[in-house]
Amino acid sequence: APGDRIITRDAGMVVLLGVRRKRVTCDAVQIKAGSLGHKRPSEDVVLPCGTKLLIRDWRANAIFGTKQALIAAQDLQDGEYVKILP
């Protein structure tokens, strides 16, 4: 809620100014619980395809040659644990 304090990766602790919601029609990606590491995510999630995820494991190294990277959810699809929904 606005006024809450949150911790961000780039600015540390900040005060949340507002929350916005926007309804969009787009393809979605389902990511099964535990498919990105132990309890990551803790339960199945559905995200818009273009949502950027921070990866900090072997995937970042294999795909980008770095320790961490931002990657679109759709680019992690494997057809079993991470898949595009019809």
d(CA 81, CA 63): 18
Give 36-84 pLDDT, tens digit per residue: 888 899 999 999 999 999 998 898 999 899 999 999 999 999 999 999 9
pLDDT level of residue 9 (50, 70, 90 thresholds):
confident
Mean pLDDT across the stretch 26-45?
A: 93
pLDDT at residue 2 tops 90 = yes
pLDDT at residue 24 tops 80 = no
Mean pLDDT across the stretch 5-13?
A: 91
pLDDT value for 22: 83
pLDDT level of residue 35 (50, 70, 90 thresholds):
very high
d(CA 84, CA 74): 7
The amino acid present at 84, given as its one-letter code, is I
Q: Token pair 């959810």 is at which residue? A: 73
